[in-house]
């Protein structure tokens, strides 16, 4: 049953799934195997799942993913696209994966953006002197030599900017938009500069996209719109955005001097990093696990997305240690330049989409590796039924939840093309506290939580790769 049909009848696919399971009337899977037989087959993996969980959570591999992440981030630091640090990170991981004894470890070349922040500052000159904490946004142009000194216009939305567009000419627009959700609020970071430039602003300062702040600016990529003047843009703290909003409400004149020395260079050479456990019966068929190796140029990139990359490595390590080789190939891919719009992953898709029928499941972890709850999943109702049974194997660690809508910019093109996709679902209330900040360090990671994430990731990947039939599409 296709997603369009589900939407037309007004029922979510999970509602339909529950209905099908209740009446035991799910259609046969791709090879014609009745669903009860598939469910029985999955249940037979209970002991295997328990052995994976025991090794990851209680056994010799306990805390290994955390220790690997700590060594990686302490050694390399942050790893922004195009940087020498990202090159070092790729070399480090290539060597580590080979040393771990994984198979077909190799690098696949990609071209990635190369933007360098340079020195930057923002100082309020009126109504009082105040130095602000800022982080320029990725792809921003520099200010003219000597910086930009201009009066500030504070707005809370694009709608307010449009109503007050005549006031924006020649000013620095400060967006003080409230945080609703990341998906909704991030549009101000992504498009705020071009929206302000369209009405004559000379620069933008954007309230950081976060629900919580300790005077911490959050960076990220922004997109200039074609045909619109490029103006400098940076994020400021929630505290400074709210302060300027209060000043503006009192009728006080606000003047800021903004200096940014950002530069954009030609695209750089880089690599996606790949390791496998080659399938015993259908090596051409693939279950793909992934996280991204790049980060922003602040903090350590431990949470975003060092944790996701490390559990995607750890999952293969766990299976190797147990001597488990599934029917299909397990392939871990550590993406390059995710933060610039999934650049490495897009090139991977273009290279490998010719074999799209052999991709059984694509998985991505990029929402943190905090306490795992289960998975978010995109696929047919039949595939969801299979995945729901797989998740039951994780009852020993209470991570059995299966939500709708797999997420991840690195796998979305596969899901759009009909390949089932899954993302790690965690208790992520803290994620956007540290996201793209100097606070994204090993101090936010927990070895216990990473053990659980690794176990979940490994169990799901192995069982799906080893079932007699591929997931139904």
Cβ neighbours of 189 (radius 10 Å): 27
> Which of these, 195, 206, 258, 204, lies nearest to 228 by C-alpha position?
195
Strands (E), 210-251: 233-236
| Two tokens, residue 97 | 């994966």
Query: Do the strands 328-335 and 263-277 form a parallel or antiparallel pair, or are they unpaired?
Result: antiparallel
CB half-sphere exposure, 13, CA atoms < 13 A: 20
CB half-sphere exposure, 338, CA atoms < 13 A: 29
In sequence order, the 6+-apart residues with CB closer than 8 A to the CB of 208 are: 216, 217, 218, 235, 236, 237, 238, 241, 437
> Which of these, 211, 237, 206, 210, lies nearest to 222 by C-alpha position?
206
Looking at residue 228, the DSSP 8-state letter turns out to be S
| Two tokens, residue 91 | 């070399």
> How many whole angstroms separate alpha carbon 470 and alpha carbon 463?
11
Exactly one of 120, 190, 276, 338 is catalytic; name it.
338
> How many whole angstroms separate alpha carbon 69 and alpha carbon 301?
10
Q: Is 338 a catalytic residue?
A: yes
| Two tokens, residue 239 | 């505290």
> How many whole angstroms separate alpha carbon 87 and alpha carbon 292?
13
Written as one string, the DSSP assignment of 446-465 is -HHHHHHHHHHHHHHHHHHH
Question: Is 327 within 8 Å of 74 (Cβ atoms)?
Answer: no
Annotated catalytic residues are 338
């Amino acid at each position: 049953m296709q997603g369009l049909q589900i939407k037309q009848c007004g029922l979510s696919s999970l509602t339909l799934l529950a209905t099908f399971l209740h009446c035991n009337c799910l259609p046969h899977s791709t090879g014609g195997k009745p669903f009860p037989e598939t469910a029985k087959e999955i249940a037979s993996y209970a002991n295997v799942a328990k052995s994976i969980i025991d090794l990851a959570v209680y056994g010799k591999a306990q805390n290994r993913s955390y220790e690997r992440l700590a060594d990686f981030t302490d050694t390399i630091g942050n790893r922004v696209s195009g940087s020498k640090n990202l090159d070092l990170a790729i070399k480090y991981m290539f060597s580590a994966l080979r040393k771990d004894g994984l198979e077909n470890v190799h690098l696949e070349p990609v071209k990635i953006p190369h933007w360098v922040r340079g020195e930057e500052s923002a100082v309020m000159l009126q109504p009082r002197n105040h130095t602000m904490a800022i982080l320029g946004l990725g792809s921003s142009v520099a200010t003219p030599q000597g910086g930009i000194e201009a009066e500030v216009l504070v707005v809370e939305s694009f709608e307010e900017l449009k109503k007050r567009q005549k006031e924006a000419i020649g000013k620095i627009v400060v967006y003080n938009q409230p945080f609703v959700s990341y998906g909704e609020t991030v549009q101000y970071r992504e498009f705020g500069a071009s929206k302000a430039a369209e009405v004559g602003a000379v620069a933008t300062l954007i309230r950081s996209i976060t629900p919580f702040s300790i005077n911490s600016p959050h960076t990220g990529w922004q997109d200039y719109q074609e045909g619109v003047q490029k103006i400098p843009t940076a994020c400021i703290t929630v505290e400074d955005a709210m302060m300027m909003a209060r000043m503006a409400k009192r009728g006080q004149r606000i003047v800021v001097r903004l200096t940014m020395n950002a530069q954009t260079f030609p695209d750089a050479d880089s690599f996606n990093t790949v390791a496998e456990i080659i399938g015993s019966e259908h090596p051409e068929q693939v279950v793909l696990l992934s996280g991204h190796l790049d980060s922003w140029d602040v903090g350590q990139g431990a949470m975003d997305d060092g944790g996701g990359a490390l559990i995607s490595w750890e999952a293969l390590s766990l299976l190797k240690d147990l001597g488990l080789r599934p029917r299909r190939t397990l392939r871990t891919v550590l993406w390059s330049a995710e933060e610039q719009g999934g650049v490495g992953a897009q090139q991977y898709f273009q290279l490998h989409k010719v074999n799209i029928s052999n991709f059984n499941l694509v998985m991505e972890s990029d929402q943190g590796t905090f306490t795992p709850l289960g998975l978010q999943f995109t696929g047919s109702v039949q595939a969801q039924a299979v995945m729901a049974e797989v998740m039951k194997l994780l009852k020993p660690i209470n991570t059995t939840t299966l939500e709708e809508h797999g997420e991840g910019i690195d796998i979305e093109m596969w899901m759009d093309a009909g390949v089932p996709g899954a993302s790690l679902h965690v208790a992520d209330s803290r994620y956007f506290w540290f996201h793209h900040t100097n606070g994204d360090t090993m101090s936010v990671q927990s070895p216990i939580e990473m053990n659980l994430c690794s176990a979940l990731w490994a169990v799901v990947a192995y069982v799906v790769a080893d079932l007699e039939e591929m997931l139904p599409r």
